[in-house]
Amino acid sequence: MKVLAITSVKNEGAVLLEWLAHHRKAGFTDFLVFSNDCEDGTDLMLDRLQDLGWVTHLRNPGPWREGPQWAALKTADRHPLVRGADWLLFLDVDEFVNIHAGDHTVGALLHALPDATAITLTWRMFGNAGVVQMSDHPVTETFVQAAPAVLWWPWRAVMFKTLFRNDGTYRKLGVHRPRSPDRARLDGAQWFDGSGRPLGDAFRTSRVFSDYGRDNGALVQLNHYALGSMEGFIVKCDRGRANRAEGDFDAGYWIERNFCAVEDRSISALDSSAIRHELLADPILSELHQKAVRWRHERFTQLMREERWRALFSRLLLCQPTRVLTPEDARLVWQHAVTSQK
């Protein structure tokens, strides 16, 4: 069974090897990686990984009409790896698939949901927890404070990525879900959430976020390390968003994701450290990794010479972890959202 992970990266060399090692251990057999405008050597690292047989790397230079991520997806639609895969998942390198079923692999997840043709991997937001400085330490071990398993608001914090069977029901990849369905095949599409709950028709065609308070990730969750350290977040803001040409990271983005309500170390049940050490044992990869780590520190220092970045950094230092809203609190927002749509 071929399980393909697809991603698009820019200046992610400091975290790339951890992400790759984790998902190889989780049962992903192939990786199609696009890179654009890398200043930290991520593209050179991917070239080396391709030489070693770990990934397929495609450069994705601009300009792009809809941003680098959508350009990558359109190219991927035509790629032989996509056409030959049994299961597909598009995800970012700050997202880690965390499978609780069986031996914590994709195979175990599919065994638990044998009728599924698509599984929504709902985000579990992992907050900053007061970490200020960047460090060359695994992301999954550094950030262990997260949102509760069930979150009632904001809707952006319960979005999902979709692991789906490549059976022709959907003809195009999307950022959060497959697109361009074959209407004649939709009746056979069986969507389930990370709790193993069958999903309704809206998920087959359009939904990109889970039902509030329903998916507790009993079988699978998608650990989303959207923030990282405060210093790292500043560098991320400078990089910009992957799915559009210009970025819009700000303090509001931080507040909607900085959940530190509970400790969650469940991802440690899948130990990928041996694979990570194997990758770092390659002298070329090791040197490129260290250069990428140094680049991040140097870039942060450069950015802090500008008032706008110093101002944002100071706001992060001032912020407390985000309060988890109760269902009653969330309804104060829902009622106005319903009214505005009438």
- By the 10 Å C-beta count (0-12 exposed, 13-18 middle, 19+ buried), 29 is classed as middle
161-170, 221-230, 238-247 — which is least confidently predicted?
238-247
What would you report as the CA-atom Rg of the chain, rounded to the nearest whole angstrom? 20
Confidence band of 244 (pLDDT split at 50, 70, 90) = very low
CA–CA separation, 119 and 97 (whole Å):
12
Q: Angle 183-75-122 (CA atoms, 0-180°, nearest 5)?
A: 60
pLDDT at residue 65, as a whole number: 86
- The string over 49-86, giving b where at least 16 C-beta atoms fall within 10 Å of a residue's C-beta and e elsewhere, is beeeebbbbbebeeebeebbbbbbbebbeebebbeebe
pLDDT at residue 341, as a whole number: 41
pLDDT at residue 338, as a whole number: 54
- The string over 117-152, giving b where at least 16 C-beta atoms fall within 10 Å of a residue's C-beta and e elsewhere, is bbbbbbbbbbbbbebeebeeebbbeebbbbbebbbb
User: Per DSSP, what are the bridge partners of residue 160?
Assistant: 122
Does the global pTM surpass 0.85?
yes
* Residue 111 identity (one-letter amino acid): H
pLDDT at residue 163, as a whole number: 98
- By the 10 Å C-beta count (0-12 exposed, 13-18 middle, 19+ buried), 244 is classed as middle
Per-residue pLDDT of 287-319, as tens digits, reads 999 999 999 999 999 999 999 999 999 999 999
Residues ≥6 apart with Cβ < 8 Å to 50: 56, 57
| Mean predicted lDDT score pLDDT of the chain | 94
Share above pLDDT 90 across residues of the chain, in percent, rounded to a whole number: 89
pLDDT at residue 288, as a whole number: 98
pLDDT at residue 340, as a whole number: 44
Q: Please, are residues 94 and 138 in contact by the beta-carbon 8 Å criterion?
A: no
CA–CA separation, 110 and 118 (whole Å):
10
70 has a pLDDT exceeding 80: yes
* Tokens (6 digits) for 268: 């440690």
Q: Strand 56-59 vs strand 145-146: parallel, antiparallel, or unpaired?
A: unpaired
CA–CA separation, 127 and 146 (whole Å):
6
Share above pLDDT 70 across residues of the chain, in percent, rounded to a whole number: 96
